[in-house]
Amino acid sequence: MDIKTGFFYLFSAVLLFAAFRVITARNPVYAALYLVLAFFQAAAVWILLKAEFLAISLVLVYVGAVMVLFLFVVMMLDIDTAALRAGFWKHFPLAALVGVVIALEMAAVLMGGFRPAIEPKVGPAVAQVAQTTGQAVAQVSNTKELGKLLYSEYLYPLEIAAVLLLVAIVAAIALTLRQRKDSKHMDPGLQVKVRKADRLRIVQMPPVVAAPQPEPAAAAEGAKA
């Protein structure tokens, strides 16, 4: 086993552990952090597969933006985890059945890609053409070709995904800006509409104030004393 294969098994093992902890962690903040770890391990696996652009996109977009947004939303919403775990075991059989079906479908699709391919016997002329073609393909930039494909053939799905992400961000902000009794905030609209007469009132007072005169009852008691 070479070094590349060893790194692949290492990253895959950490990825499976992080994915398992995402669905088993009791604290949603810990689940989000484990999901960040899973994204990093998936990016490392993509780097081993020479898909550098996808790996960097996963780290920058999902870890740097989407997961940070999810983490802030989870921390701000103050989710009651006890109420969410109340019906866990009630729906566990159905969830386990769906998970097993999805795992079998993925295994049926992916197991064909791990079978060793049988290389056909070709002549020296065909081998020379294949070698030349491989060298030409190696000089092509994956990022450039992916950008051409995204902004030409998949332009509308890309715009729809951007709109959905924008709606999700606006919805998260709207949920976190709910009214709370224990928070003190100022209304910018009222601050803009304020006038000088509402905040400051000038009162005229005489420069000399006379001493207060004692009451008759208090003066009589003082004279008796």
Chain centre distance of CA 224? 85
What are the CA-CA distances from residue 39 to residues 7, 52, 61, 217 (Å)? 16, 14, 11, 88
CA dihedral sign of residues 23, 24, 30, 36:
negative
Instruction: List phi, psi (to 5°) of 160.
Output: -65, -40
Residue stretches of the chain with pLDDT short of 50: none
Q: What integer pLDDT is reported at residue 106 of this predicted model?
A: 81
Q: What is the pLDDT of residue 136?
A: 55
Decide: 29 and 17 in contact? Cβ < 8 Å: no
CB 63 within 8 A of CB 39: yes
Compute the residue count for the chain. 225
- The residue among 56, 39, 35, 38 whose CA lies nearest residue 47 is 56
What's the pLDDT at 180? 61
Architecture of domain 1-81 in this structure:
Up-down Bundle (1.20)
User: Residue 99 has what pLDDT?
Assistant: 85
Query: How many angstroms separate the CA atoms of 77 and 47, rounded?
Result: 35
Let me know: does 111 contact 65? Beta carbons within 8 Å. no
Q: What is the pLDDT of residue 53?
A: 81
Residue 69 has what pLDDT? 74
DSSP string, 46-74: HHHTT-HHHHHHIIIIIIIIIHHHHHHHH
Residues whose CB falls within 8 Å of the CB of residue 7, separated by 6 or more in sequence, listed in order: 44, 48
Confidence (pTM): 0.50
Task: Count CA within 13 A, CB hemisphere, residue 106.
Answer: 6
- The beta-carbon contacts of 103-110 under 8 Å, at least 24 apart in sequence, are none
Query: What is the model's pLDDT at position 24?
Result: 85
Give the model's pLDDT for residue 182.
65
Chain segment 56-95, per-residue pLDDT in tens: 888 888 887 777 777 777 766 666 666 666 666 787 888 8
Distance, CA of 97 to CA of 119 (rounded, Å):
40
State the pLDDT at residue 89: 76
Please give the pLDDT value at position 74.
72
